[in-house]
A and B are shown apart, each in its own frame.
Chain A
Amino acid sequence: MKRRKVLFLFSFLVVTAFFFSMAAAIHPFGEPYISDMGRFLLEEAQLEADANNIVTAVVFDYRGFDTLGEATVLFTAVLAIAALFRRLAE
C-alpha cells in the first residue's frame, strides 16, 4: 500500500516535469501558425455564409456534423438521467 503510493507520486512528478518542459517549448504566446483554413475563414467566410458572426458560421455551416454529434450527446445524457431517476422515485 505504501509502496504503491510512493510509485504513484514519483510518476506524477515525472508527468509534471514533462508538462512544464512542453509548456516552455511550444510556440510563443501570440504568434500562432496560421494555416490555409484560418486565412480562408477570415477573408471569405463572411460573403459565402452571409453571416457577421464567423464563429457561429463555423459551428453551424462549415462544421455542422460536430454540432449534430453534440446535440446527440446532450440528448442521450438527459435520457439516461431520466431513466435512472424514474427507478429511484418508486
Chain B
Amino acid sequence: MEALVAGDLVKNLPFLACSILVLLGLYTVTFKRNLIKIVIGINVLEAGVNLFLITLAYRSGSTAPIFTLAPKGEEMSLPAPHALTLTSIVIGLAVTALMLSLAIFIFRHYGTLDAEKVNRLRG
C-alpha cells in the first residue's frame, strides 16, 4: 500500500510540488512571530494555489491556447483556469501591498514587530 502511494506520488510530481509550497506557507504563518515573515508566508501560500490552478489545465503535449501563428496539428490546453489564475494573481498583489503598509503603520505606533506584543490597546 505504501509502494502504491509512493509510485503515484512520483507520477504526479507537479501536484506534489504544489502541496509542498502550500504546506511551507502554512508552517510559516502558524509558527513564526515576526510580522514580515508572516507576510512572506502568505505570499508563498498564494504562489502555491496559483500553481495548482494552472497545473489542472494541462494536456500532454499541448501548447498555449492562442491562434496567432500557432503550430499546425497540435492540441491546446484548456483556457478557463488560465483566466481564473490571472484574477487570483492581481488580488494577491493588492492584499500584499495593503498588509505591508499596515506593518509599517504598526511599527510606527508600537516600536516593535513581534506578533505577540502588539495585542494591547495603547493610547
Contacts and interface: CB of A to CB of B under 8 A. Distances in A.
Interface of A: 8, 12, 15-16, 19-26, 28-32, 34, 37-38, 41-42, 45-46, 52-55, 58-59, 63, 66-67, 69-70, 73-74, 76-78, 80-81, 84-85, 88
A17 to B, nearest CB: 10
A70 B91 contact: yes
B66 A42 contact: no
A31 B105 CA distance: 48
Interface of B: 5, 8-9, 11-16, 18-19, 22-23, 26-27, 30-31, 55-60, 65-68, 76, 78-80, 82-84, 86-87, 90-91, 94-95, 97-98, 101-102, 104-105, 108
Contacts of B91: 70, 73-74
Contacts of B56: 32
A30 B75 CA distance: 12
Most buried by B among A15, A31, A54, A84: A54
